[in-house]
Amino acid sequence: MKVMVVGGGGREHAIIRKLKENSSIEAIYALPGNGGIAADATCVSIAATDLDAIVDFAKANAIDYAVVAPDDPLVLGCVDRLNAVGIPCFGPEAKAAIIEGSKAFSKDLMKKYGIPTAAYEIFTELDAAIAYLKTAPIPTVVKADGLALGKGVIIAQSREEAIEAVTDMMANAKFGKSGSTVVIEEFLTGPEVSVLAFTDGNVVKPMVSSMDHKRAGDNDTGLNTGGMGTIAPNPYYTNEIAQECMEKIFLPTIRAMKAEDRAFKGCLYFGLMLTPNGPKVIEYNCRFGDPETQVVLPLMESDLLTVMQATTNGTLAETEVKFADQHACCVITASAGYPESYQKGFEITMSDEACAHTYVAGAKLQDGKLLTSGGRVTGTTAVADSLEEAVREAYRLADGVQFEKAYRRSDIGQRGLAALK
């Protein structure tokens, strides 16, 4: 079987390594992949958003199954285009990917179907947004409607800051078209949990829960990033809460999407906040999270390709989705300066042991050398019987990944360990 994975970050590397456990796969192509992924798949230099080139490549190479991992090709309709030429895919069609592609859509969906989320208002006119903010409770949360590389969310601590945020989005087009509509919502508090779930449109099977560490600095200080590390399972996510989420959030969401004729197939990511008033949805993503995938898939015992195909074929009910009763920790090594400006082009060296536990996110191969080419460069994951051991081991292994100006948070997993005590 020939499989193609669209995307080229740490998440895609984790997906490819896991897929490789299936011996029926004879070739894996990554579009575009990266210098580190090249050790595990054939990288093809086609951008993840170049849908014409992706379809041409898939046809020319008789691809049997495609995994579309990032949000932008999904929202652009990559799965629709591949399905149209007869190639089965893992991932939602565009009409279902809108659950991430438009926050206004997802908020209205939750309101219509009674799914718990922060109270909100949607604005398409700047004047109306500013008028509303003059009396809105502070802090307040301003979100650009569309995809904004994870940067379209502003937690405003003052009215002035909130007004500046909506003005930037709506009048100054800070996020392009993504910000012409804004959602202004209630500020919620509580621990955050990421739950990725497989779904075939009817049945939903959650994966092990996880915790991201989004801020750049230790003790959750500094700027928001794509994620500086993860642990799984998330200690705040008890069996009782999991059951409540299944009944009040996961199943109602899958049913709502089906009722709207937007049946969702693939991986639906629930970004949850465990508020004093129960779990609420902070965001939906139409794809695997990154770096959540880098702790979730190493704990997966079932065959990934089999489960993915079950979401495509509508046979998830009969397919086992099993996770090890263990703990995982992933430590991201980034380029100093990330998420703002940083230098690129430094050679990366890894011990063999570190390499076997490391997913590469931002690197390219040049003259046989692996060079840094992004903000987040690698994710190193350890699996162990306790969280404490997984954290210790992930840091020990990450020390085997070296390059100039490498930066890691030193406290990944500490909040989780404190919660266990």
Give min distance, CB of 285 to ligand AMP, in A: 8
Closest CA to 278 of 195, 189, 210, 212: 189
β 266-275/278-285 pair status: antiparallel
108 interacts with, out of ligand AMP, ligand GLY, none, CB within 5 to 8 A per kind: none
200 interacts with, out of ligand AMP, ligand GLY, none, CB within 5 to 8 A per kind: none
282 interacts with, out of ligand AMP, ligand GLY, none, CB within 5 to 8 A per kind: ligand AMP
Give yes or no for residue 274 binding ligand AMP (CB under 6 A).
no
* CB nearer to ligand AMP: pick between 214 and 392: 214
Q: Which distant-in-sequence residues (6+ apart) come within 8 Å of 109 by Cβ?
A: 99, 115, 253, 256, 257, 260
- Contacts with ligand AMP in 99-138 (CB under 6 A)? 118
187 interacts with, out of ligand GLY, ligand AMP, none, CB within 5 to 8 A per kind: ligand AMP
Closest CA to 216 of 408, 416, 380: 408
- Contacts with ligand GLY in 19-78 (CB under 6 A)? none
Give min distance, CB of 294 to ligand AMP, in A: 17
* CB nearer to ligand AMP: pick between 107 and 357: 107
292 interacts with, out of ligand AMP, ligand GLY, none, CB within 5 to 8 A per kind: ligand GLY
- Contacts with ligand GLY in 203-222 (CB under 6 A)? 212
Rounded Cα gap, residues 141 and 271, in angstroms: 15
Give backbone dihedrals phi and psi of 56, rounded to 5 degrees, phi first: -60, -45
Candidate list 6, 43, 282, 370; residue touching ligand AMP; CB under 6 A: 282
Stretch near ligand AMP under the rule CB under 6 A, chosen from 185-193, 236-244, 297-305, 355-363: 185-193
Give min distance, CB of 361 to ligand GLY, in A: 12
Candidate list 145, 292, 303, 393; residue touching ligand GLY; CB under 6 A: 292
Give yes or no for residue 285 binding ligand GLY (CB under 6 A).
yes
Closest CA to 228 of 100, 108, 376, 416: 376
Stretch near ligand AMP under the rule CB under 6 A, chosen from 162-170, 184-192, 246-254, 362-370: 184-192
289 interacts with, out of ligand AMP, ligand GLY, none, CB within 5 to 8 A per kind: ligand GLY
Name the residues that contact ligand GLY, by CB under 6 A: 150, 212, 227, 285, 289-290, 292
Name the residues that contact ligand AMP, by CB under 6 A: 118, 141, 150, 153, 155, 185-188, 192, 214, 271, 282-283
